[in-house]
Amino acid sequence: MTEETYKKLWRLKLHQLDLETYGFPRNHPNNPKRAVLGISQRPQPQQEPHESDSSDSEPEIIMDRCSRICTRCRILFKVDKEGRPKRQLCRYHPYHVPYKKKFRCCGRKKHAEEGPCKTARQHVHNQLAPEALENFKPTRDNLIKAKRIYALKCSHVYTEKGIEVASVSLVDAFCSVVYETKVRPESNILDYDTEISGLRRHDLANIQKTLQDVIEDLNALIGPKTILVGFRLQRDLTSLRMIHENIVEVTVLYPHKWAPRRTHSLYFLRRNFLSLENIRAPLKSREEAITAMKLALHRM
């Protein structure tokens, strides 16, 4: 990485106001350990629905303690006092295309008699409990002073708490892996969301690394001058309880031409801008981080 690359990428970073607009975790005005997401000012991005991206949608704060909205089928479902979902079958289409008459996954028409093509054992959600915004750490306090460029990507699984980080990858400007680990979620896993996360049961068996360990590791690598590149990085930073200033966000670099409230999927971007093959398998956190870095460098 040259000084020149750093300078060019620095010009692409989001401004302070954008960080708030796009829902990045920001310092709470009165509580330095707490974050705010600026949700009220954030456009509600809908992704370009070439591929499903259920758990990867934007986090919302839980408003009602006893119910949640299913990320997959959008039904309101009940949870117990601890927030655990009651077992209830979830029927959904994994590839949802809001403005098309047919679902891409199965070709069924909307409101077709057969209903959705996939059934899961229970509903899942990605809403955040208010306490998920506590204990945030601004990277400006970290000791690393060097000018670094990293792309960061997390994969998440559905747990009794909603979604939790299950793998993290950090790659440098040469797309070499600097840090990568699987993470043991704090609560029981309900669904590995394999279609999106690429993770299966055996991937997370015997993993001892906790989210807190990962946060400490990352804070030893990322400093106030580090440029972080990512694809929907606001969600990853929220999960990692990290407040960072220098963000290059791929969804902003490649806006949707005719629907500004939508964002292209990473699959669409890699196919159309990097001329990489159209893969049907889910990208894992490493491949997603590498793709995000390549897309950012491509835009310089």
Pick one of 117, 207, 221, 276: the residue that binds Zn ion (CB under 5 A).
117
Closer residue to Zn ion in complex, CB, 189/207: 189
The reply to whether 72 sits near Zn ion by the rule CB under 5 A is: yes
Instruction: Please say whether the beta carbons of 264 and 254 come within 8 A.
Output: yes
Closer residue to Zn ion in complex, CB, 164/195: 195
Pick one of 9, 62, 69, 90: the residue that binds Zn ion (CB under 5 A).
90
The reply to whether 96 sits near Zn ion by the rule CB under 5 A is: no
The reply to whether 204 sits near Zn ion by the rule CB under 5 A is: no
Entry field: residues in the chain = 300
Pick one of 13, 68, 96, 123: the residue that binds Zn ion (CB under 5 A).
123
Q: How far is the CB of 91 from Zn ion (least distance, A)?
A: 7
Residue 167 burial (C-beta neighbours within 10 Å; 0-12, 13-18, 19+) = buried
The reply to whether 106 sits near Zn ion by the rule CB under 5 A is: yes
Q: Which single residue is written with the structure tokens 């949870």?
A: 79
In a 3-state reduction of DSSP, which class is residue 112? Answer: coil
Closer residue to Zn ion in complex, CB, 97/252: 97
Stretch that binds Zn ion, among 16-24, 120-128, 160-168, 242-250 (CB under 5 A): 120-128
Instruction: Please say whether the beta carbons of 223 and 145 come within 8 A.
Output: yes
Instruction: Please say whether the beta carbons of 142 and 219 come within 8 A.
Output: yes
Closer residue to Zn ion in complex, CB, 72/264: 72
Torsion sign over Cα 202, 291, 231, 71: negative
Residue 44 burial (C-beta neighbours within 10 Å; 0-12, 13-18, 19+) = exposed
The reply to whether 68 sits near Zn ion by the rule CB under 5 A is: no
Binding site for Zn ion (CB under 5 A): 70, 72-73, 90, 93, 103, 105-106, 117, 123
